[in-house]
Amino acid sequence: MIEQLFAKLESAYPEMVDIRRYLHQHPELSFHEHKTTAYIAAFYEELGVDIRTNVGGNGIVATIKGAHPGETVALRADFDALQIHEDNDLPYKSTVPGVMHACGHDGHTATLLVLGKVLHEMRDSLHGNVVLIHQHAEELTPGGAKPMIEDGCLDGVDVIFGTHLWATAPTGTIQYRVGPFMAAADRFELTIKGAGGHGAQPHKCKDSILVASQLVTNLQQIVSRHVNPIDAAVLSIGSFVSDNAFNVIADQAALKGTVRTFKESVRQTIAEDIERIIKGVTLASDVDYDYTFHRGYPPVVNHEQEMQFVVDTAKSVAEVTTVEEIDPEMGAEDFAYYLENVKGAFFFTGAKAPETEYAYPHHHPKFDFDENAMLIAAKVLGKATCEYLKNEKTVSEKVTK
């Protein structure tokens, strides 16, 4: 069955590339993916696959029912793009000004569509069901995963697998981590409200820029002095805005930042410490402030047995040259919500072309990836699905047999 699966995937690889390039040319932002959802729905409808549309918003869930009884495996791919103007000179570059697929979600969708098509063709051999989750809005909190789960996309699902094409890791590499894999991502917004005036008369003003600058420095002490060095955490200020003339002391200054953590206790401590420091600095400077802390995605935590099952599966795929456990990634993913609800595993599929010396990172205007990685991802996910469904043994039994 696996040989047949691989042969069909290899035969359908050109279609996979065509789909990816079409989606790359027609990107849509999070929560606005209406044409993309119509494209995905039409693909499955032509095959005769059962689908649900508008799941949790713009999500689509396709279900392939095997001819034999068994468990249910879910596979997930996201399909939203980013508000970035593409700076690549490619025949399939984005046709939408200011919007591009700069994170590989076009590749994720193409991979899952073709894998779904192949599994549908092989449904008479399947023991159990496959749920294909096409998720909207991964890039923008509150994200698409949570509302899709609330709308039932995981109902009846026993296990879920997912991958992210990773353009900075060589093609042929599978990267993973058991346990905490990707960080929780929170953000905060702060506006300092001082009293502006002439730059030559600072004694008559309350300098919001000076106060904000002190906070940029003081907030860095949270991670370096308040968090256990054993625990990973990041606090970064990404935006500092105060638009005034050169000789005017600003009455307001705005900061925006991000916090990345793995432990809930550390996450809560940092949120509390930020506000405590803001209160102290603004009180000492006699200025007011507005502050909001937004809790984002929780950490991605892989289940041990399911992750090991995928690792063993990947090692048996010929095109996979390296399977390596890596350090936790401080980036975030709302795949975390799926893993909070069912067992499963999430991993990276290397997508840096062998001849490429430098790969532009995700979310870069020149981002691109090696399309051969899509076939590898499809084979790993496809084989993991079929192996999991081939009998009703638990993953623990499968891993240890």
Asked whether residue 164 is marked as a ligand-binding residue, the answer is yes
Percentage helix, strand, coil, to 5, in the chain? 35, 30, 35
User: Which residue(s) pair with 294 in the sheet?
Assistant: 187
How many residues does the structure list for the chain? 401
Contacts of 3 (CB under 8 A, 6+ apart): none
Asked whether residue 363 is marked as a ligand-binding residue, the answer is yes
Angle at the Cα of 122 from the Cα atoms of 117 and 127, rounded to 5 degrees: 120
Backbone phi, psi, residue 352, to 5°: -95, 120
**Contact 349/279 with Cβ under 8 angstroms?**
no
Selected catalytic residue, list 33, 80, 186, 370? 80
**Rounded-to-integer distance, Cα 105 and Cα 83, Å:** 14
Of 104, 133, 97, 84, give the one whose Cα is nearest residue 23: 104
Q: Is the peptide bond before 328 cis (omega within 30 degrees of 0)?
A: no
**Contact 163/347 with Cβ under 8 angstroms?**
yes
**What secondary structure letter does DSSP report for 308?**
H
Asked whether residue 264 is marked as a ligand-binding residue, the answer is no
Asked whether residue 26 is marked as a ligand-binding residue, the answer is no
Cα distances (angstroms) measured from residue 151 to each of 31, 41, 145, 289, 370: 16, 18, 10, 38, 34
Asked whether residue 103 is marked as a ligand-binding residue, the answer is yes
**Rounded-to-integer distance, Cα 38 and Cα 120, Å:** 20
- Given phi > 0 = left and psi -120 to 50 = alpha, else beta, which region is 84? beta
**Contact 36/79 with Cβ under 8 angstroms?**
yes
Q: Please list, residue by residue across 56-76, b when 16 or more beta carbons sit within 10 angstroms of its beta carbon and e when fewer do.
A: bbbbbbbbbebeeebbbbbbb
80 is catalytic: yes
Selected catalytic residue, list 138, 251, 306, 368? 138
Numbers of helices and strands, H then E, in the chain: 11, 16
Burial-class residue 278 by CB neighbours within 10 Å (0-12, 13-18, 19+). buried
273 is catalytic: no
Binding residues: 103, 105, 139, 164, 363
Residue list, annotated binding site for Mn(2+): 103, 105, 139, 164, 363
Catalytic residues: 80, 138
